[in-house]
Amino acid sequence: MADQEKDDKSDLAGVIAAVPTPVTRAGHLAGERFLRQCEWALENGCDGLNILGTTGEANSFGQQARRDIMEAAADALPGRKLMVGTGTPDLETTISLTHHAADLGYAAALVLPPFYYKPVSDEGLFRYFMSLCDVTSDSPIPIYLYNYPALTGVPFSLDLIRRLWTETEGRICGIKDSSGDIPYCREIVKALPEFRVFPSSETSLAAASEHGFAGCISATANISAPICARLWTPEEEKPDAADVAELTRLRAAITAAPLIPAIKHLIARRFAEEEWERVLPPLTELTEDEKNRLKGISLSE
């Protein structure tokens, strides 16, 4: 990425698609397919992309594979629109990936809590994230917390979020919340109005302005991006009711199936590329019955 592009960053906001990672039979990045979907999302209403999140199967890739995927995106796409997952259970790898994200010009790193040891105290989490910030202070890429307690078993308390925001002087500046707990998201905004809160469902967009959300970071935005773009209008008081209803219907239909294989299946349909269906173990592709239940979803080209 050119130096100018590395420096041309803006605050992430709006509709951010958590993009999936297409793979070859050998389990390596299928680069052309990956970039085609990234470009589709940006051209169809998304304001940014989350690379190597849960939807991107980040924790099924080794460190070198993650670096390769990060580089593929950074070489072809504007860094100011890119957030990348760098969190792992061990601090050393998280530091290494976060440094790499900064070097590549990513706008932000999205960091899971260390998720192996449980229970873990707020003090332990505080030390982990402060160590991450201290060691990467030479390249202080903004850091977003990734709250997904259903998978990690490690939630972020409001007290911890407030402490990290304060002690890092705003470098830890936001959160992606995949708990589905909108009252929790509203509570964070109320306590820390400048902290950037992204729920994981685009169904939150209709009330994003009212609640003070920065947007959404969503897997299903890979499919619903055009509708999301129409709803991401913070100044508009009354979103179109038909768009809200259609977005709710789409989200419900897709999440009724295993989410990551469903997203990959629908993208495979959009591009007529069966190879998109592949997922990495331990995930499995959709069954024929599961695919049939998604036949009613129309896809934007």
* Segment holding 218, helix H or strand E: strand 215-218
Q: Tokens 């499995």 label which residue?
A: 284
Global pTM value: 0.94
User: What are the residue ranges in the chain where pLDDT is below 70?
Assistant: 1-10, 234-237, 300-301
Query: pLDDT at position 3, please?
Result: 38
Q: Are 54 and 148 in contact (CB under 8 A)?
A: yes
pLDDT recorded at residue 299: 82
Which pLDDT does position 70 carry in this prediction? 98
What SS3 class is residue 17?
strand
Q: Where are the domains of the chain?
A: 3-292
pLDDT of residue 6: 39
Please say whether the dihedral angle defined by the alpha carbons of residues 54, 59, 60 and 65, taken in this order, is positive or negative: positive
Nearest-5° Cα angle at 49, 48 to 54:
145
Residue 61 burial by Cβ neighbours in a 10 Å radius (0-12, 13-18, 19+): buried
Summarize pLDDT for 59-73 with one digit per residue, the tens: 999 999 999 999 999
Among candidates 36, 276, 301, which has minimal Cα distance to 291?
276
The topology under which CATH files domain 3-292 is TIM Barrel (3.20.20)
CA 194 – CA 214 distance, rounded (Å): 10
Tens of pLDDT along 16-58? 999 999 999 999 999 999 999 999 999 999 999 999 999 999 9
| Contact indicator for 293, 256 with CB cutoff of 8 Å | yes
Contacts of 106 (CB under 8 A, 6+ apart): 51, 70, 74, 79, 82, 83, 84, 141
C-alpha–C-alpha distance, residues 162 and 100, integer Å: 27
pLDDT of 47 = 97
Q: Which of 212, 206, 205 is nearest to 185 (CA)?
A: 212
Provide the pLDDT for residue 235.
65
Residue 27, amino acid? G
Quote the tokens at residue 193. Answer: 């109005």
Identify which of 9, 13, 1 has the alpha carbon closest to the alpha carbon of residue 213.
Answer: 13
Beta bridge partners of 198: 176
Q: Identify the pLDDT of residue 9.
A: 39
Q: Please tell me the total number of residues recorded for the chain in this structure.
A: 301
Residue that has been written with the tokens 């419900």 in this structure:
252
Tell me the three state secondary structure of residue 82.
strand
